[in-house]
Amino acid sequence: MTALVVGGGPSGLMAAERLVAAGHRVTVIDQRRSFGRTLLLAGRSGLNLTHSERLDEFLDRYGPARSRLEPMLRAFDPESLRAWADHLGAETFVGSSGRVFPMVQKATPLLRAWLDRLTEAGVEFRTGLAWTGFVNGGVAVVAGDGSVLELRADRVVLALGGGSWPRVGGDGGWIEILRDAGVECVDLAAANAGVLVDWTPKHLVDFEGEPLKNVAVSIAGQTIRGEPVVTRGGLEGGPIYGLGPKIRAELNESGTAVVQIDLLPDISHNGLGIRLETKRPKDSVSTYLRRAGIKPVGISLMREATGNRLPDDRAGMALLAKAVPVAITAMAPIERAISTAGGVAWSAVDESLQLTARPGVYVAGEMLDWEAPTGGYLLQACFSTGAWAGRSNAGP
């Protein structure tokens, strides 16, 4: 039996590993000149492979897609991923946040060992071939010289990534190809992305790049604590990424979204009011607020929210500081996102991840319509869906 894997990222390579282990003759192709480029990019921040929290909590991170992903995440769970990495010589450890990293906190040693193992197992790697669709019962690819080739295999796994990594080939161009082939797809959207805010020039001059330390950000009943960062375009960082689905939903519904930022989440409204009781005669407003524990960047945020017309009473000031409204105009561009939502609809694949419109063709990784927060959840699902698409009992 022959198998063709299109895409040399973590999902594709994991599918290839499972397929060759099951006795398939496997070829992996990629439009770039090397493999595992997304892993190398992730390795720049330490290569957060997965997370160590309890599996039920872990599964909840996948939101609406949990029920579809759960069998795959249980079949190749975080412990399995750690054991797999350890076997490649990339021994892992659990950081203080519960995130799991290789000891060397780099992707290169793991990737090199993985590619060597796949090559020794008989996997053939071909670079510079861009998938362009289906033709005559096979797939069509364009080589670097512009020539069109037809490749055939008993089984094809598509693992082309989402749309947020154009510099390594993940531009989402495959979505229209699949739609033309009768595959239902959901439009790609930025996930784990910053948001756009219309800051005043003064705010940017004073605080671009400044984190809002230890704040709580809320929208639509969800609150996440952390340190969002003021950027030239708006806000980025963990709380913003985590609230992304709620923000995106409000943007889609009304064209704008408003998050509320509690600048002092460890202090009650009444407690902050007490802090604001005393204002010295010579104190400026900024000094007065700083004495209450509000950082300069937070004060500037309060001025942004009110058009520099701060409340003139301490009760109003406390209310504002505990829920500073920040109007978001849009998500940051998809090419600046960490990941994407959308992709191949779950209704377009069966339980083995085979396309119902194209028997013998499977989909894995970010091509599927799921999203998850950062923290190891993204790579874990890519590995798990790749393993599932490549398992021996999933088709021909």
Measure the CA–CA gap between 136 and 143, rounded to whole angstroms.
Answer: 18
Tell me the torsion sign for CA atoms 72, 77, 78, 84.
negative
pLDDT digits (tens, 9 = 90+) for 231-269: 999 999 999 999 999 999 999 999 999 999 999 999 999
pLDDT digits (tens, 9 = 90+) for 306-365: 999 999 898 999 999 999 999 999 999 998 899 999 999 999 999 999 999 999 999 999
Q: Residue 336: left if φ>0, alpha if ψ -120 to 50, beta else—which one?
A: alpha
| Greatest C-alpha distance within the chain | 84
- The backbone torsions φ and ψ at residue 310, rounded to the nearest 5 degrees and listed phi first, read -70, 155
Domain ranges in the chain with CATH number 3.50.50.60: 2-191+335-389
- Which contiguous run of DSSP H or E holds residue 114? helix 108-121
Give the CA-trace dihedral at 384, 388, 389, 393, to 10 degrees.
Answer: 170
3-state percent breakdown (helix, strand, coil) of the chain, nearest 5 = 40, 25, 35
pLDDT digits (tens, 9 = 90+) for 352-387: 999 999 999 999 999 999 999 999 999 999 999 999
CATH 3.50.50.60 fits 2-191+335-389, yes or no: yes
Residue matched to tokens 């003759």: 25
243: number of Cβ within 10 Å: 24
Q: Mean pLDDT over all residues of the chain?
A: 94
pLDDT digits (tens, 9 = 90+) for 200-233: 999 999 999 999 999 999 999 999 999 999 999 9
Measure the CA–CA gap between 368 and 349, rounded to whole angstroms.
Answer: 9
Cβ contacts of 195 within 8 Å, gap of 6 or more: 234, 235, 236, 240, 247, 257, 328, 330, 331, 332
Residue 141 forms beta bridges with which residues?
131, 149
Closest CA to 321 of 331, 335, 310, 329: 310
For the full predicted model, state whether its pTM sits above 0.85: yes
